[in-house]
Structure formats: structure tokens, C-alpha cells
A and B are shown apart, each in its own frame.
Chain A
Amino acid sequence: MSEVKIRLGHLFPELLNLYADQGNIAVLKRRAALRNILLEVTPIKLGNELKVEDFDLLLLGGGSDREQAIVGKELAPYREDLQAAIEANMPILAICGGYQLLGKFYELANGERIPGLRLVDMETKPGHGRLIGNIAIEWMAQNESSKELTIVGFENHGGRTYHDYPALGKVLKGHGNNGRDHLEGLQYKSLIGTYIHGPLLPKNPHLADAILRYALNYRGHFSLLEALDDQLEWDAHHAVLQELLGNKKYARVRQRLC
């Protein structure tokens, strides 16, 4: 039997690397390797052609406003390919600036609009001050078997994002999409957009595994991922969660979600 392989396309690592996205890749790579799955990472740089059909998983990280505008232009010709892939359940993980790029536009404080990829019906507008800090959410996982349903990380964004899709989760503590509706991120089929970094995956191994599973399913493999020893990951997860929620709320959340 040939080794199972997942082909990950890392979009513009030279521009979108603001919040340590290589950490997310290191996590996916190691967790795949421990299950004898080869995660092959291809950086797609400015000027390279993107063949969406060559990949099982795409990663779009965060960057500055200037860098986002460059990436938006660069990806515009691939909009239709990306849209078709999303409808066919291709997993894409988009974080911070990458998340904002998925929508129709990202409006800056000066009124200028950076056009998005229009992959989802979503818009991002300016607000007063940046939304910064540790964040914990309740993962509204669809068809997930995970026992653990909290996600923790850090957020740092000026834009306020609005959409009507299912959110990635409900905010337990922090700001989320727009600081108003207590929702964070977006999930449409296997597309995940979120403001959470830290990076996202090291302290959230259940989410990392979900993404690996989406990629395997997209490739036509439906076997289960075997469980790993994630003691350190969960210790780090719960240390942040407890500190963030306070002992009382943490105890309640833990009873309900963990």
C-alpha cells in the first residue's frame, strides 16, 4: 500500500506570515507524520501559477493591509477555481488577513476598500480601535466527534467582520468577528476562516485533526485518524482557558464542553 499523502498549498508565505503561520504547518505536519501520512507543503509565491486541483488543503495566513491588497490582486484570476473547490469540500484555512480576504471587501479606516475574493458573502468594516487579546470560543463543530469543544488563542484585528454563515464558534471570552454578536470565525463546508492565531493549531489539536480529516476526505480517504498523546497540548490549552475564564466559569465550561 502506498503511503497516504496530503498536499498542502501555503499561499504567499513571503507576505502572509504575520502571526507565525509556520507554527500551524509544523503542527499539521507532525500530526500527519505520527499517523504515517505525508504532508507535502508547497509554498506558492508571488508570480507562481496556482493550480488548485494540485492541492488537498490550502492555507492563507495574515499580513498587513498593504500585503493583503497585493495578495487579493494576485489571487483574483483563481476565484472561480477556488469557488468550485470550496463547493466540492476542499478545506481551506484562512486566518486574520486571509480570513478578511475571503469576503467581498475589507474597508480601511480611511474609507478605502480592499477588494476581497468574494468566495463568501461577507464584509469587513473599520471600527474604533483594534480588538486585541486572548480569546476562547465554544466550537460549534459540525459533524465533529471531538469531546473537547473549546478553542483558545489570540486575536488582533482592526476590521469588524459580518456574515450570515455558521460561525466557527461562540465567544466565551474575547471579541470575535466584530465585538458585537459574540460569534467568531466562519465555517462553510470545509472552509474555515478565523481571527484566532497564537498560532491557531498548537493548542487546539482537535481542530488540527479536523482539518487533516477534511483533507483526507477531500482526497477520498475515509479512515479514522488514530488518537495521539496530546497531554502537553491540552495542558497548554486548559492553562490559557482557565486563566481567561476565571475559576468559576472555567469549571462550568469544563463540565459542559470538555
Chain B
Amino acid sequence: MSMAEWASTDFEAMRVIKKWKSRLALWVGQITLYVLRLIGRRGTSLPGFLAYRLSPDLLFNLLTQLDTCVFVTGTNGKTTTSALLYSILSDEKNLWLTNKDGANLMQGLLAAFLPHVTATGRLGLRKAILEVDEATLPRITERFHPTMVVVTNVVRDQLDRYGEVDQALAMLRQGISYPGIQLITNADDPLAASLGIERELTSFYGMDEVLQDTQTRNEVRDGAFCLMCGQEIEYSHTIYGQFGHYHCPNGDFTRPTPDYGGILRANDASLIVRWRKRNTEVEQFAVPSPVIGLYNYYNLLAAVATACTLGISTRKIVEAVTVYEAPLGRMQVYAGTPERILALIKNPAGANSVLRTIETDSRAKAVCFAINDADADGRDVSWLWDIDLESFLATAVCDRYFCAGHRALDMALRLLYAGVQRKQIEILDALSDVVKATESLDVPVYVLSTYTALYPLGTYLREASR
């Protein structure tokens, strides 16, 4: 046998080994999923973890079987935007694959595929809408190019994950650097928008008109500097956090005119979408908002922009959004006495927008913070000090605060130094105490929770609401 023949046999052997490793990984993942379901577990992490450990190739084998694939990434709003899109795109006749629970790393994505694959590795669905972590995006796109990538925003997140905002931005830029990927991003966020400047196949969405905020805010802005020249950028109109209508005074960076412009005339109104088409034609339509909070209007606009780009009719979009049900922690209202409302917070920008939404509720209220510091929450709790609580205290009628979770004391200190009286703060030993501690109140209770406290709290609040 010649060297060349040896080499090709070797190559062939490798290919066969890889194929069977991939198949084995699939079976292990599927059997684990089946067993977990039998014993009544949701099985969101283990099957994907095992399968991915055995064969990282399996995920790519499955991805390449897709005809259409949309990735949703960015710091905040990934889960809500994906969920809204899924409800617009997917129905019984035309089912899409999705990672509904927000498990957005390699193994989480793989876990979302497992229930839809045959034992021989054939994928039953042809379209997918997947929420993808910012750091995972470039690791996937170097081997697989999706149809579309939606970048919701780039703001300060759990700092121990990527070090800093600059790094997250660099990973996103790398992730979308391949030709043929349609980018949909937020014109109002200078950092996200910078990804699409002078890039082909890019559509922007942004708010053309929003109610002006009158309260002076002390929020940290990460996009405050022009990435081209380093000059502090100026805002003609601020919306919240670093979002707004901005330009660099040196003129080398300006907010792009959105292809999908949103108009919001009241806090709970329908979102009016102004679609500026390529042929200068403008189509305008109103979308009811199934979710409250300004930040959720951004998520809604992102989902509408993506659906329009995919060719979905505006009529279908409106119909789907009307019957949409939000995932846990997006301001679910649990009726009862008192009424309790559950919101997820995970970074200052997200927490600020939740607080802004609560401010619009003019009733007297109580607020409960449930702060954990597990890996999924972010181990570094310094972000609590970047939340703009001071302007919340200046505006909202609230004189009772509760702190729960593993870092309840850190949160209590934060409140104390923001100006809350010590006697107004109650520290709870366990998450399960939230219901009992608030049951005698006659005002609504807003419960703001980090990720790992959210699901247990959801269960307690639902039970209390019955």
C-alpha cells in the first residue's frame, strides 16, 4: 500500500469514528432526556451536557440540516425577543425549533435539538430560532453561518463573565463577520449599532418617538464614547440607559435611520411600527404590546423587524403577538391580596428599566429584591451599586422593602446607602419567606429576582395566588 493510500484509509477511519462518536453522543443525550422526563424532570441541561462532551460535532451536524436559522444574541432581551419571534413564526403547520428555556450555551442549544432528531441523526424540523450567548456566537459561526443574527443591545452585564463590555462587543463583531449573514440590530444603542455601520445585509430598528423622560438619571452609560475617535457622544434625545438619538460631535458616528422605526405615545399603548422599505415606500402598522416596560417594546420591535425581514405578513405578526404569553419573570402578575408581580433582573440596565416600569404604576407599593450570586446570576454583586435606585426613591411611592436570597444583606446595604431607612428594610432568611412576609400588606408587591431565584419564586407566588 502506498503512503497516499495509507493516508486516505486513515482519513476514512477517522471519518467513521467521528460519525459513530456523534451518533453515540446523540443516543446518550436522547436516553438521558427520556429517563429524566420519566422521573418528571425538565432535563434542560444534563442531556445536552453529556452529548456535547461526547461529540461537539453533533451540534454542527444538526445545525447544517437547517434551511433557515435565526440567532438572537445581545446582553438583555434575548429570551423575550426569541419567545416573541417564536410565537410569530411557529404554528402547527409550520413548526420551528427553539431553546425556549434560555439555555443558550453550546450544550443548551444541543439539548433543544435532541427531542427532534431520529435515532439515525436526521433532524425533523427545518427552521430554528435560537437564543445564543454572546461568547458562544463566534464559536458557532466559525463553523456554521446562520441566516440571520439579531443583536438586541450591548450593555454592562455580569462582569465576571467576560471582563468588560469591550470584550463582549469584540466577540459579537467576530461572530457576525462572515458574508451572507443578515444582521438585525438596535440603532438606538451606540454599541450595538456600531456593529452594523457600513455593513452589508444589515437592518436597524429603533424608537423614532418615545415619551420624554423628565427625571434626571444617574445611570452608567457604556456607549458614551465614539468608537471611532474617542470623543464623548452627544444625545439629542435620551430614551433610557445608553439608548437614544445620538451623534459624535466630530461627525464620524451617528445613529443610523432605522428601517423599522417604533412610535410609542403612552406607556401601555400599542407600538406603532413605521417600516421604511428599500423602495422608499413606508408601511405603518400598530402592534399591541403583550409585555409591559419600555425595554420590552424594544424586544417587541426587534421581533417585528426580524419577522418582517423573514417575509412574514404584518397581519400574521399582529395576530400572533395578540395571543402571546410571556416567559417567567417578565412582569407576571399573580392576582390576590396582595397582588404580586414578578420581574427578572440581572444587570443594571435591565434592573433600571424594570424600576422605570414600576414607577409608572402610581399606586403605593412594596418592593422585594431576591439576589443570588450563583454562576448564572453573576458571582460579582457590585452591579447592585450601578442600579439607579436613587431616582426610583425620588419618584415611586414605596416605603416597605424586603431582601431575600443569598446576597440579601448586600442588597439591604445598597438600599440603606440609597437613603432607605433601616426600619423599612426587612431581611428574609429564605426565598420561601417572601409570600409569608408580604401576606398582610394591602399594597401590590413587586418582586425583583435574579435568575436562580426566579423559578422557585415563580412556584411560591403561583401557589399563593390560588
Do residues A197 and B382 form an inter-chain contact, with CB atoms below 8 A? yes
Check: A160 CB closer than 8 A to any chain B CB.
no
Q: In the complex, what's the smallest C-beta–C-beta distance from B340 to chain A, in angstroms?
A: 26
Residue A224, interface by CB 8 Å: no
Residues of chain A contacted by B386 (CB below 8 angstroms): 17, 20, 22
Once the chains bind, are A64 and B164 in contact (CB under 8 Å)? yes
Whose C-beta in chain B lies nearest to the C-beta of A63? B164
Among A156, A158, A199, contact of B160 (Cβ-Cβ < 8 Å)? A156
Residues of A within 8 A of B412 (CB): 232, 236
Q: Mark A38-73, 1 if CB is under 8 A from B, else 0.
A: 000000001000000000000000001110001000
In the complex, chain B residues whose CB is within 8 Å of the CB of A235 = 409
The answer to whether A232 touches B164 (Cβ under 8 A) is: no
Give the complex CA separation of A156 and B379 in angstroms: 11
Residue on A with the closest CB to B388? A22
Q: How far is the CB of A113 from chain B (nearest CB, A)?
A: 19
A203 in contact with B413 (CB, 8 Å) = yes
Chain A binding site: helix, strand, loop or mixed by DSSP? mixed
Contact with B along A5-46 (1 / 0, CB 8 A): 000000000110111101100110010000000000000001
Do B413 and A17 touch (CB < 8 A)? no
- For residues 369 through 413 of chain B, which have their beta carbon under 8 Å from a beta carbon of chain A? 379-386, 409-410, 412-413
Q: A233 on the interface (CB 8 Å rule)?
A: yes
Contact call B413/A202, Cβ cutoff below 8 A: yes
The answer to whether B264 has its CB under 8 Å from any CB of chain A is no
Whether the pair A202, B417 counts as a contact (CB closer than 8 A) is yes
- Inter-chain CA distance A64–B416, complex, in Å, is 29
In the complex, the number of residue pairs spanning A and B with C-beta atoms less than 8 Å apart equals 79
A235 to B164, CA, bound (A): 30
Are the CB atoms of B382 and A232 closer together than 8 Å? no
Q: Give the Cβ gap from A100 to chain B, nearest Cβ, in Å.
A: 14
Partner of B159, one of A14, A23, A156, A199: A156
* A64 and B232 form a contact (CB under 8 A): no
Contact call B166/A66, Cβ cutoff below 8 A: yes
Q: Which residues of A from 217 to 243 have beta carbons under 8 Å from B?
A: 232-233, 235-236, 239
Asked whether B159 lies within 8 Å of A19 as measured between CB atoms, the reply is yes
Of all chain B residues, the one with the shortest Cβ separation from A46 is B232
| Other-chain contact of A19, B224, B382, B417, B422 (Cβ < 8 Å) | B382
Contact B159 A232 (CB under 8 A): no
- The answer to whether the Cβ of B106 comes within 8 Å of any Cβ in the partner chain is no
State in angstroms the CA–CA spacing of A208 and B55 once bound together: 52
Task: Pick the residue among A22, A26, A70, A239 that contacts B409 (CB under 8 A).
Answer: A239
Question: Which of A27, A70, A156, A233 meets B163, CB within 8 Å?
Answer: A156
A203: chain B residues within 8 A (beta carbon): 410, 413
Measured between C-beta atoms, what is the minimum distance from B253 to chain A in Å? 16
Q: Hey, which chain B residues are within 8 Å of A154, CB to CB?
A: 160, 379-382
Supposing A199-B382, A203-B410 touch, asked if A232 and B416 sit within 8 A by C-beta, the answer is: yes
Interface residues of A in 147-204 (CB under 8 A from B): 154, 156, 158, 197-199, 202-203
Residue of A nearest to B163 (CB): A130
User: Which chain B residue shows the least CB distance to A133?
Assistant: B379
Bound form: Cα–Cα A80–B252 in Å: 36
Cα-based distance from A232 to B417 in the complex (angstroms):
11
CB of A22, distance to nearest CB on chain B (Å):
6
The yes or no answer to B333 lying at the interface (CB within 8 A) is no
The reply to whether the CB of B431 lies closer than 8 angstroms to some CB of chain A is no
A134 touching B379, Cβ below 8 Å: yes
Known: A27-B417, A232-B409. A158 touches B382 (CB 8 A): no
CB contacts (< 8 Å) of B163 on chain A: these are: 64, 130, 156, 158
Contact A132 B160 (CB under 8 A): yes
Q: Indicate the member of A20, A23, A27, A235 with the most B CB atoms within 10 Å.
A: A20
In whole angstroms, how far apart are the Cα atoms of A235 and B408 in the complex? 11
Measured CA separation A129–B239 after assembly (Å): 38
Encode contact with A along B122-142: 1 for CB under 8 Å, 0 otherwise. 000000000000000000000
With CB as the reference atom, state the residue of chain B lying closest to A198.
Answer: B382
By Cβ-Cβ distance, the 5 closest A-B pairs, closest first, are A23-B385, A20-B385, A236-B409, A20-B382, A64-B164
Chain A residues close to B by CB (< 8 Å) = 14-15, 17-20, 22-23, 26-27, 30, 46, 64-66, 70, 130, 132-134, 154, 156, 158, 197-199, 202-203, 232-233, 235-236, 239
CB-defined A-B contacts under 8 Å, sample of 19: A14-B232, A15-B225, A18-B159, A19-B159, A20-B382, A20-B385, A20-B386, A22-B386, A26-B417, A64-B163, A64-B164, A64-B166, A70-B230, A154-B381, A156-B163, A197-B380, A198-B380, A235-B409, A236-B410
